[in-house]
């Protein structure tokens, strides 16, 4: 059975119509023969939004001066109206016939995207090939959603083959595997074009219509019941993330890229928040070079767009090893420190099980300016776990212990170390921990901390910077 024939001339208007609320679309630049871009205004869940799309019916959506003007005009209107902007990308890149003029058009687009960064939400959905400059356009925005036919690459398979000799197709070069799992370019991979448009609508609504925190709507649930009985056993943190946020509101970003750190947008008491959580199911929840970069990008986006943060911590430290050092764990780990330290939106930390070493600092500690830090009663805050600590501190003594007695001696020394190091009482004493909360009271405690950090009108502070991390 042959595939259905798709009329490319209907693609651009149909995609904009599907994006906006029914009957709300109003064209800024209509589909015109010879111009491969269309733009319009409309609403998403009643909120004003500006959108543009490449028109693949004309030269595959290749971009020249006229198309650049359409997109730049759309951005100017979005900035004037202070509304989110959505880009629907399906472009073969620069129009070869126009030469350097097409490169100038892309440069103009990149410039206004950078100007808009941190001022208005920018969401990209890639529904076809996005090549050359068409790849960098989405990458400069806050969120990138990839549809089933979306492909993102700087140079296409033919050029790659002729220059490097590599035999690769568009899927392997720029599909969901390279960009949803390995490069981190794509935040959300959608299975159908309809789902991609729906994901775009939902994310645009979360970032463009953030709402107000209604503490009265917050009900508690026993989050501690979601942890395994053994404190050393790994577990999936996704159920905790879902239980903290309002039911059905969570949209995870980068679920397959650096899955040891979960970054999720959702609503909490009706208010958009960002939630960061270590995931002990992957790498034991350790931070590494990639997850630190992932977390930094998410934190900076939330800060720039005024989205308060909830940070659920269960981290044993940074992942050690030659591979990590070579992969830039120091450089990329510093990005997460920088992101939290410069953050001005309210950011509440809850330590559920443990927080050790440098990762304790990096996961929104009081030293980095956390708004409020809480911990569950059995949580541990330390340089390292007590067993690892005593094996260093008492290695000579332990070396003299008979093998059959070693476990008992280690337990005794570990218990002593917990008391000596101070744990949560010491953390409270020096002011790096604000309160100890029961797991079944965590949601109301988080709501109270967020409300205490709000302005008199219920709004929150917002960072004054762009979204691309240094």
Per-residue DSSP letter, 454: S
> Contact, 197 vs 145, CB < 8 A?
no
CA angle 70, 71, 76 (to 5 degrees): 100
Residue 180 Cα distances to 132, 152, 185, 301, angstroms: 19, 11, 7, 18
> Contact, 12 vs 194, CB < 8 A?
no
Please tell me the distance from the alpha carbon of residue 55 to that of residue 184, in angstroms, as a whole number.
26
Catalytic residue among 60, 132, 137, 285: 132
Give the rounded distance of the alpha carbon of 31 from its chain centre: 34
Is 358 in the active site? yes
Please tell me the distance from the alpha carbon of residue 134 to that of residue 52, in angstroms, as a whole number.
13
Please tell me the distance from the alpha carbon of residue 190 to that of residue 187, in angstroms, as a whole number.
10
Catalytic residue among 92, 133, 208, 274: 133
Parallel/antiparallel/unpaired status of strands 261-268 and 271-278: antiparallel
φ, ψ (nearest 5 deg) of residue 383: -65, -40
DSSP three-state, residue 321? coil
Catalytic residue among 359, 382, 427, 449: 359
Catalytic residue among 334, 358, 453, 461: 358
Long-range CB contacts for residues 319-328, cutoff 8 Å, separation at least 24: 319/283, 319/286, 319/287, 319/288, 324/288, 324/289, 327/288, 327/289, 327/290, 328/289
> 277 pairs with which residues across the strands?
262, 312
φ, ψ (nearest 5 deg) of residue 79: -70, -40
Please tell me the distance from the alpha carbon of residue 411 to that of residue 171, in angstroms, as a whole number.
53
Please tell me the distance from the alpha carbon of residue 26 to that of residue 173, in angstroms, as a whole number.
36
Neighbour count for residue 260 (Cβ, 10 Å): 21
Burial class (CB in 10 A: 0-12, 13-18, 19+), 255: middle
Please tell me the distance from the alpha carbon of residue 302 to that of residue 321, in angstroms, as a whole number.
31
Please tell me the distance from the alpha carbon of residue 288 to that of residue 427, in angstroms, as a whole number.
25
Catalytically active residues, by annotation? 132-133, 358-359
């Amino acid at each position: 059975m042959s595939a259905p024939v798709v009329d490319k001339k209907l693609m651009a208007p149909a995609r904009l119509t599907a994006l906006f609320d029914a009957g709300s679309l109003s064209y800024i630049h209509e589909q015109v023969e010879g111009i491969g871009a269309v733009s319009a205004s409309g609403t998403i869940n009643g909120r004003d939004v500006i959108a543009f799309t490449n028109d693949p019916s004309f030269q595959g959506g290749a971009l020249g001066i006229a198309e650049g003007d359409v997109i730049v005009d759309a951005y100017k209107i979005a900035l004037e109206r202070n509304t989110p902007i959505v880009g629907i990308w399906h472009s073969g890149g620069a129009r070869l016939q126009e030469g350097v003029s097409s490169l100038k058009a892309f440069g103009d687009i990149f410039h206004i995207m950078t100007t808009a960064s941190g001022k208005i939400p920018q969401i990209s959905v890639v529904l076809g090939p996005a090549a050359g400059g068409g790849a960098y356009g989405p990458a400069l925005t806050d969120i990138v959603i990839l549809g089933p036919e979306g492909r993102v690459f700087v140079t296409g398979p033919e050029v790659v083959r002729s220059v490097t000799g590599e035999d690769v197709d568009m899927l392997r070069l720029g599909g969901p595997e390279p960009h949803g799992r390995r490069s981190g370019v794509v935040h959300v991979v959608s299975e159908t074009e309809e789902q991609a448009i729906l994901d775009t609508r939902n994310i645009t609504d979360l970032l463009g219509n953030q709402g107000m925190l209604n503490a009265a709507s917050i009900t508690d649930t026993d989050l501690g019941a979601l942890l395994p009985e053994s404190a050393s056993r790994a577990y999936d943190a996704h159920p905790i993330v879902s239980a903290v946020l309002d039911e059905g509101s969570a949209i995870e970003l980068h679920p397959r890229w650096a899955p040891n750190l979960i970054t999720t947008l959702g609503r909490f008491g009706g208010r958009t928040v960002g939630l960061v959580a270590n995931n002990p199911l992957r790498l034991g929840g350790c931070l590494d070079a990639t997850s630190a970069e992932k977390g930094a990008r998410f934190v900076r986006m939330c800060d720039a767009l005024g989205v308060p943060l909830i940070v659920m911590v269960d981290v044993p430290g940074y992942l050690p090893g030659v591979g990590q050092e070579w992969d830039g764990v120091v450089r990329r780990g510093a990005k997460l420190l920088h992101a939290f330290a410069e953050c001005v939106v309210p950011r509440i930390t809850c330590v559920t099980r443990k927080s050790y070493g440098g990762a304790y600092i990096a996961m929104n500690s009081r030293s980095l300016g956390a708004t409020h830090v809480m911990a569950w009663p059995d949580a541990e805050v330390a340089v390292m776990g007590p067993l690892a600590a005593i094996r260093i501190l008492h290695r000579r003594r332990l070396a003299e212990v008979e093998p059959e007695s070693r476990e008992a001696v280690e337990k005794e020394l570990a218990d002593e170390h917990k008391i000596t190091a101070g744990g949560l009482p010491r953390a409270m004493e020096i002011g790096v921990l604000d309160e100890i909360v029961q797991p079944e009271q965590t949601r109301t405690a988080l709501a109270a901390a967020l409300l205490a950090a709000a302005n008199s009108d219920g709004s929150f502070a917002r960072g004054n910077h762009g979204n691309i991390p240094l």
